[in-house]
Structure 1
Amino acid sequence: MEKVLHNRIGYFFIGLLVITFLGFYPTYLVKFPRFEGFTSAHHFHGFVALLWILLLIVQPFLIRAKQYSLHRQVGKLGYVIMPLVMLSLFLVARAGYYRNIRVISEADTLAGLTNGIPDLFFLGTLFSLGMIYRKNTSYHLRFLASTGLMMLGPGLGRLLVVAAALPVPVAIPIIVALTTGTGLVWLIVDIRQKRSPFPMAVFVGIGFIAFVLAANGHSAWWQSFAKWIAVHLF
């Protein structure tokens, strides 16, 4: 099972790239070359997120080809790319805040920050754990694969809602099933095969926290926290 996972995980990341392209084509790429309504923050985010996905694709195939030394060398790019992805998430959240505050209420604008700011910490946690446990192949693969599962959500959401014209209430359960649900199935399989549940339990926990945050965007504690970010960091 573990050998099959190592040999095939690269194809999942290729699928991630395809879904991301299809999802963002009608909402972003089709607007080339003027990209009206988008800022440099969005372009920067798209660029570094693409670099991360490409890194996720390349690395498993280097392992499959037994290019272990090259895998380690290429992997060092992650120490540059992932912090840039995190920075881009912050910049996009800030751009979204200043755009939304002009057209919707402050409460709704601050609630919208549940989609963006937490992801910065979630991706940072998964990447950090993946690097801390880089000598534990099983942990390393699962934590970094989890960053891919997180990145699946935005592209998949746009693909379902915009391209496939599904209602948001229908699309959300599909997104959850294919992201957090996949992590949950992976966790159950690991437990049944007597592997450590730690990596996938972290990912499933992050999915649960993301759900709680999204459901509490208008709560007093989130509004206060998001207001502090807007005042002191934006």
Structure 2
Amino acid sequence: MERAYRNLAYVLLALLPIFVAGFWIPYLSEFPHFEASITWAVHVHALLLFCFLALLIIQPFAIRYKAFSLHRKLGNLSNILMPFILIFSVAMVWKEYHEHLADGVSTAAARNDEFLSTIQLLLQAVLYGLAIATIRKRDVAAHMRYMICIVLVVMPAGLARTLGYWFDFRQSSSQTVCLALTDIILAALIVYDNRGHRKVRPYVETLCAFVFIEAVWIALGRPI
């Protein structure tokens, strides 16, 4: 691992309390008696998300402490895990879309309400594909940065819920905070790596993608 990122594992570990807090009120606190809207697909989706989060945290620890064999095995596991994550994430988007329709929302409004979830899911898939492509080319620096970008795409799943359920933020406001924070982090990473003459392209690409997503979302009226 690059010396500049030697503490990355500890930074990612700090995400765990955010995700636990974000999923506590609407999900974890109801165990084992869940309301009817929490279907088996929701359980699988939550399990996959936490497994992926655990993998994102463990992987840099494995590199830091030279457990390279474990890192490779977990990397191979992610190749199996990611397709299921994407499939069940699509299922969640589809479920929420129909819940909007059941609440009397128009088709256009229901579609717009799922814009952020859908486009971020697509971005996650693209970034993961780039992460795999770069590691196969033995471009470790780019691979690590694409994985960091994936963390930033996943982060709102916990942070937005934490802001909404614990601090009474409106959904549009919590997503605005998450998107702004993501932009700030990416810009800071670009400046940080640029000063160290390190690779910045993954961060630049991801920041451009987020700026585009935010522009479309604002044009749609910040639907949630």
Percent identity at matched positions?
25
Kindly indicate whether residue 90 of structure 2 is the aligned counterpart of residue 90 of structure 1: yes
Kindly indicate whether residue 63 of structure 2 is the aligned counterpart of residue 60 of structure 1: no
Match of 2:112 in 1: 111
Which SS does the other structure have where 2:155 is aligned? helix
1:123-134 equivalences in 2 (<5 Å): 123-134=124-135
CA 1:83–1:25 in structure 2 vs 1: closer, same or farther (change >3 Å)? same
Match of 1:224 in 2: none
Name the stretch that deviates more: 100-109 or 189-198.
Answer: 189-198
**Aligned-partner residue type, residue 61 of structure 2:** F
1:143-182 equivalences in 2 (<5 Å): 143-167=146-170, 171-182=174-185
CA 1:90–1:204 in structure 2 vs 1: closer, same or farther (change >3 Å)? same
| CA apart distance, 1:142 | 0.7
Q: Contact 1:20–1:154 at 8 Å: present in 2 too? A: yes
Query: How many Å separate the matches in 2 of 1:170 and 1:105?
Result: 22
Query: How many Å separate the matches in 2 of 1:92 and 1:166?
Result: 22
CA RMSD of aligned residues (A): 2.0
**Aligned-partner residue type, residue 186 of structure 1:** L
Query: How many Å separate the matches in 1 of 2:85 and 2:75?
Result: 15
| CA apart distance, 1:52 | 0.8
1:150-229 equivalences in 2 (<5 Å): 150-167=153-170, 171-217=174-220
Q: Contact 1:89–1:119 at 8 Å: present in 2 too? A: no
TM-score, normalised relative to structure 2 = 0.89
Deviation string, structure 1 residues 21-75 (Cα, Å, up to 9, x no partner): 1111112212222321222222221111111111111111111111212211221
Query: How many Å separate the matches in 2 of 1:99 and 1:25?
Result: 22
Match of 1:19 in 2: 18
Kindly indicate whether residue 123 of structure 2 is the aligned counterpart of residue 122 of structure 1: yes
Q: Contact 1:112–1:217 at 8 Å: present in 2 too? A: no
Q: Contact 1:110–1:217 at 8 Å: present in 2 too? A: no
| CA apart distance, 1:152 | 0.9
Query: How many Å separate the matches in 2 of 1:30 and 1:201?
Result: 39
Query: How many Å separate the matches in 2 of 1:50 and 1:180?
Result: 24
Q: Contact 1:126–1:143 at 8 Å: present in 2 too? A: yes
CA 1:39–1:214 in structure 2 vs 1: closer, same or farther (change >3 Å)? farther
CA 1:215–1:179 in structure 2 vs 1: closer, same or farther (change >3 Å)? same
Runs ≥4 residues deviating over 6 A: none
Q: Contact 1:149–1:179 at 8 Å: present in 2 too? A: yes
Name the stretch that deviates more: 205-214 or 125-134.
Answer: 205-214
Which SS does the other structure have where 1:21 is aligned? helix
Match of 1:10 in 2: 9
Query: How many Å separate the matches in 1 of 2:195 and 2:65?
Result: 29
Which SS does the other structure have where 1:76 is aligned? helix
Q: Contact 1:16–1:148 at 8 Å: present in 2 too? A: no
Query: How many Å separate the matches in 2 of 1:118 and 1:111?
Result: 11
| CA apart distance, 1:169 | 6.2
How many pairs does the alignment contain? 217
**Aligned-partner residue type, residue 108 of structure 2:** A
**Aligned-partner residue type, residue 64 of structure 2:** R
**Aligned-partner residue type, residue 161 of structure 1:** G
| CA apart distance, 1:206 | 2.2
Query: How many Å separate the matches in 2 of 1:44 and 1:180?
Result: 30
Q: Contact 1:127–1:143 at 8 Å: present in 2 too? A: yes
